[in-house]
Amino acid sequence: MITPGMHRLLAVIALWAFTWNGAGAQFLDEGQEDLSLQGQGKEQRREMLLGLGRKYMESDRNKAISYYKMAIDLTEDPFQQGTLYDTIGVLSWRSGNYEEALDYYLQARDDFELVEDSIWLGKVYNNIAVVYTNMGYKNEAMRNYQIALGYRERLGDIRGQSLIHNNIGLIFQDWGLKEEAFKMHWRGLRLALLSGNDGAIAYSYTSLGECYELDEKPDSALHYHKLGLARIQRTGETNSYTYYYTNIGEAFKKMGRLDSAEINFSQALWYAEQYKNKHRQAVAEHHLGDVYLMKGNLDRARMYARKSYLNSLENSYPELLSQNGFVLAEIEEKSGHVEMAYSYFKKASLLRDSLFNADELAGITELQVRNHVEEESRENLVLRQNIQIRDMTIQRQKNFRMILLAGGTLVLAILFLVIRSRRTFRNLTFQLQESELELRRMNDSKDKFFSIISHDLKSPFNGMLGITKVLESKFDERPPEQTRELIHLLRRTTEQQYEFVQELLQWARTQTGKMEYKSERIDVRLLCGHVLELLTPSARNKQINLENRVQESQFIWADFKAVETVLRNLVSNAIKFTEKGGWVTLATREQERMLIVSVTDTGIGMTEEQRENLFRIDVQQSAKGTQKETGTGLGLIICKEFVEQQGGQIWVKSAPGEGSTFSFSLPTSPPAPAQSPER
């Protein structure tokens, strides 16, 4: 339903409306498609219309919507009507026509309530809430999200619950409730990971990124936005890319990296244009206008901000309209057009105030109290929100400021005493459950690891015992050459076993916390040269070329012995899996206060399955080299421990027959000292 506050908002937008010239869009081509519908029975016409609608869903949404509407006129079953209305709503939403989308979703809701279909009702109520959010009506959005969440919880729909928790978190962000927003997003991510759905996981990552932006931590925001983009790219849902590129662009913009922001916003705009999504076009254009304004390019800034402004005006995007108004005001002020700047500023301020007025604040409070009564598990969250919203209302009602402030303080004190013990107990219970699951997972991994270790310890000893038995039997009668060969084999097996035990003990030290790291400033080129010098004899035996491309004066802050161990392992592995005449190259590059060291070989490469299992202790990883060289399988696990303990990461890129590149990152400077508290 449209509230009185919404009517006032629409009235403000109407002040800026102007007449758009041009003929209406033609939804149907005159030709064979229309003629083929003539002379058919009702059911046949309906099926043909549905087929035509599906045909044009991606290429021409307006045409698809028209066919689906015609199909609805031939449909009597409420459930089938509801699914068609929902489909039209999705198409309208993707085009950025939110008012039309809302009308169709509301009709779908009525049909599904008539047939009491809980699955579809959970979906439609969520869609209604998303449209209200995009239109700027956060109270109506929250009310519909709560209804949708109730349906999803009763059905045990984990993926659906994840999406709704993230959507509610985004509303809390808009209201400035950062703590509640983070809780919702982390809960959404846990549910998404539990569901295993890539789309839900991607949305959870980028929602967390938006929350970190609100918390003024753009580095963390960029990290999670990139995780979200990488995950959604696994699904191939390119229609969603514009959302993720926009979020990455926002993070770069807040970091002051304007060129990177411009690239990502341009990418977002390109995808929005491909899918004819007017709202996302307007968002991307707004951000490009803002970036060009920050760069001082006023002409391009005005062009993009104006496009977004007119798009928002035409399609009723009030928040974007207000934001573009402020951007255009600043552009015109810097251009010397003072009167025009004032006009934009005045309209933007009027709309911004209309988006959050006292009536809607009262609606928020009433909504949260109702949620408090309906679901006791959200008690603490709702009441804290109630207090914060009441504080906002106090600011607007200055005549009663002191009275309401005292009342809010009293309520806060009472609530604190009442819910403190329950809240603490719930938090402890949840933490214990999570700890128990993590301990079980770690215990299972360690069990598998020790099973592998016991096998690797026992097998060589069986071989050595066999050799000694052969030597012992008929020792005097055996030819000296054969005896010498058996002794050589025994020595080589013993050396391999000794190496394995040494690496096992080294790994054990990292696990028990007895491994001490003494960080210092390390010249990476000198260290790499030292490691290559140690391994030159092994490389010569296989006629493999070693190359040090590390630039001079590149430094890291780390433990020398640990980094040397990592490099020796990686270069040894590269030699082991490279054919005669191949190359092993060391190189570096800097990236965001980290130095990335890479060891690249022209060897046999790895399959995807081998790459995924490389650093796992619960999977047997030892493999033979190109000349049947053996290994312990523990080297890469120790490398991962050493790198991560010093604040870095390790990863690999490889393909069968194309060689491998192992890379690890370490900080280029020591961490900043912790600040002492004020006394």
- Residue pLDDT, tens place only, 236-256: 888 888 889 999 999 999 899
- Residue 659 gets the label, from left (phi > 0), alpha (psi -120 to 50) or beta, of left
Q: Is the pLDDT of residue 436 over 80?
A: no
93 within 8 A of 101, measured Cβ to Cβ: yes
Q: Which has the higher per-residue pLDDT, 34 or 286?
A: 286
Residues 632-648 have a mean pLDDT of 82
Phi, psi of 558 (to 5 degrees): -165, 180
DSSP per residue, 253-299: HHTT-HHHHHHHHHHHHHHHHHTT-HHHHHHHHHHHHHHHHHHT-HH
Do residues 144 and 131 touch, judged by C-beta distance below 8 A?
no
- Longest distance between any two alpha carbons in the chain, whole Å: 113
* β partners of residue 522: 556
Q: Flag the least confident range among 331-345, 489-503, 533-547.
A: 489-503
Q: Above pLDDT 90, what percent of the chain?
A: 21
Confidence tier at 262 by pLDDT (50, 70, 90): very high
Contacts of 245 (CB under 8 A, 6+ apart): 229, 264, 265, 267, 268, 271
Asked if pLDDT for residue 110 goes beyond 50, the answer is yes
- Of 129-138, 407-416, 571-580, give the lowest mean pLDDT range: 407-416
**CB-based contact 258:236 (threshold 8 Å):** no
Report the distance separating Cα 94 and Cα 220, nearest Å: 29
| pLDDT tier at 428, thresholds 50, 70, 90 | low
pLDDT reported for residue 257: 93
Contact at 8 Å (CB) between 163 and 199? no
Q: Cα torsion at 379, 382, 386, 392 (round to 10°)?
A: 150
Confidence of residue 377 (pLDDT cuts 50, 70, 90): very low
Spell out the residues 6+ positions from residue 371 whose beta carbon is closer than 8 angstroms to its own.
Answer: 146, 378, 382
Provide the phi-psi class of 302: left if phi over 0, else alpha when psi is between -120 and 50, else beta: alpha
The neighbouring-strand residues paired with 546 are 584
Average pLDDT taken over every residue of the chain? 77
Mean pLDDT for 474-502 is 70
- Give the SS3 label for residue 97: coil
Report whether pLDDT(479) > 90.
no
Can you tell me the mean pLDDT for 645-664?
A: 92
The DSSP H or E segment spanning 335 is none
More reliable by pLDDT, 469 or 300: 300
pLDDT recorded at residue 619: 63
Give the pLDDT band (50/70/90) at residue 617.
low
How far apart, in whole angstroms, are the C-alpha atoms of residue 370 and residue 375? 9
- State whether residue 654 is helix, strand or coil: strand
* pLDDT higher than 70, residue 106: yes
CA of 12: how far to CAs of 7, 325, 353, in Å? 9, 13, 10
pTM (2 d.p.)? 0.44
| Per-residue confidence (pLDDT) for residue 31, from 0 to 100 | 37
627 pLDDT band, cuts 50/70/90, is low
Per residue in 264-320, pLDDT tens?
Answer: 999 989 998 888 888 888 899 999 999 999 999 999 989 998 998 888 888 777 778
Sign of CA dihedral 426, 427, 431, 432: negative
8 Å CB contact between 510 and 637: no
pLDDT at 177 over 50: yes
**Which strand (E) or helix (H) includes residue 614?**
none
Q: What's residue 679's pLDDT?
A: 33
The 10s digit of each residue's pLDDT in 68-88 is 888 888 888 889 888 999 999
Q: What average pLDDT does range 107-115 have in this prediction?
A: 89
pLDDT at 249: 92
- Please determine, for residue 666, whether its predicted confidence score (pLDDT) is greater than 80: yes
Helix (H) or strand (E) holding 555, with range, is: strand 555-559
The average pLDDT across 455-471 equals 61
Polymer length in residues for the chain: 679
Predicted local distance difference test score (pLDDT) of residue 32: 41
**Residue type (1 letter), 652:** V
Q: Which of 405-409, 509-513, 633-637 shows the highest mean pLDDT? A: 633-637
Nearest-angstrom CA–CA distance, 114 and 112:
5
